[in-house]
Amino acid sequence: MVKRFNPLYSLIVFVIVLVGWLLFCHSEDPFEGNGYSWLRTTPSNPERRELVKVLKKASMGDRTVILTTLNQAWSGPGSVIDLFLESFRIGEGTEGLLNHLVIVAMDGKAFDQCKSMHPHCFSLTTPGVDFAAEKRFMTPDYLKLMWRRIDFLRLVLELGYNFVFTDADVMWFRNPFRHFAEDITIACDFYMGNPMDTSNRANGGFKYVKSNAMTIEFYKYWYMARVLYPNSHDQSVFEIIKHAKIVNRLGLQINYLDTTYFGGFCQPSKNMSKVCTMHANCCVGIERKLHDLRLVLDDWKNFSALSQPEKSLIGSSSSPSPWRAPNKCKL
């Protein structure tokens, strides 16, 4: 039997979410009794103190940090995190950015692995949830992981830190900061040619967010909106709420990054002389990602070894893609 759309039910759910969001925004302790009490910004909270300490050590002069998340499945030798860190080391002017990278470990083994390879690590635990194994796209644990991340990023903003969030399957080849604007600058799966065009298909795996009242309120609403759109991941909900009147009233500025500079397997950059990052998006399965990301790193190394005249002949926007990837990710 086909269920009929019930506008009254949808209105009731929306009102519940809206009221909850308003209470969350204005509560002195919005985390009390909801399973996230460890996030309370009280001086006596040890997790908060540790997070503040890690962010302070890693931050740039303007209180900006680079954040990525890591679980056990992506943390072993030769895994995604190794390729991620290698990209910083072989990129143009990117190695120094590792001083400002905080790896947020989602489980104990990932945290131990992080401490063995990087100076800035933070353990983000969730009681009763095991985030260690690979989380297949759109499974219940995958959705929990994505929404846990959104709530954590909201906390970073409330602590007064701007951040660049990057998935670990994003390879960094050039310093991206000159491309960032106020208030949210986000990468795209598919870019339509205008950085202000809301029809650009955003990808939450790479974004810059400046800490201010508007972005904090947006992240609160984004997290609360998961109730209105159950079984949806954060990126799908972002695509919906970016058009909402309540978001527009915030006066929030959202800019979308050109895939010429911030490409991915959905829409690869064709110009290796301009590309800043390459993301293994539009790809399901860790083995496929690893195979194709290794190709990306090898292609970059070969490009970097060329003379400047040779580089200028490769990867112009009118030529075929200079990358061998996506390869297995095409499947």
The interaxial angle of helices 7-26 and 213-224, nearest 10 deg, is 140
Residue 73 lies in a domain: yes
CATH number at residue 192: 3.90.550.10
Report the Cα 220 to chain-centroid distance in Å.
16
Long-range interactions of 260-266: CB distance < 8 A, separation 24+: 260/191, 260/317, 261/176, 261/179, 262/176, 262/179, 262/187, 262/188, 262/206, 264/187, 264/189, 264/203, 265/292, 265/325, 265/326, 265/329, 266/189, 266/190, 266/203
Is residue 323 in a domain? yes
**Does 28 map to a domain?**
no
Residue 5 belongs to a domain:
no
Q: What average pLDDT does this structure show over 144-151? A: 87
**Confidence at residue 29, expressed as pLDDT on a 0 to 100 scale:** 39
Does 57 score more than 80 pLDDT?
yes
Grouping H, G, I as helix, E, B as strand and the rest as coil, residue 207 is strand
Q: Are strands 184-190 and 201-209 parallel, antiparallel or unpaired?
A: antiparallel
pLDDT tens readout for residues 264-283:
999 999 999 999 999 999 99
Considering the domain boundaries, does residue 1 fall inside one?
no
Strand 101-105 and strand 64-70: the pairing is parallel
Global confidence as pTM: 0.85
pLDDT in tens, 41-56: 455 588 889 999 999 9
Which residue from 232, 242, 231 is spatially nearest to 207, judged by alpha carbons? 242
Reading the block at residue 14, the tokens are 């929306």
pLDDT average, residue stretch 152-179 = 97
The answer to whether residue 23 is domain-embedded is no
Of 16-25, 238-247, 257-266, 293-302, least confident by mean pLDDT is 16-25
Residue 242 lies in a domain: yes
* pLDDT at position 147: 86
Q: What domain range includes position 50?
A: 40-330
231-243 pLDDT, tens digit each: 888 999 999 999 9
Torsions phi, psi for 121 (to 5 deg): -130, 145
Read off the pLDDT of each residue in 186-206 and give the average, rounded to a whole number. 96
How confident is the model at residue 45, as a pLDDT?
81
pLDDT tens figures, 309-330: 888 887 665 567 899 999 999 8
The more confident residue out of 112 and 134 is 112
pLDDT at 5 over 50: no
> For the segment 66-104, what is each residue's pLDDT rounded down to a tens digit?
999 998 888 878 899 999 999 999 999 999 999 999 999
β pairing state of 121-123 and 101-105: parallel
Instruction: Say if 3 falls within a structural domain.
Output: no
Structural domain count, the chain:
1
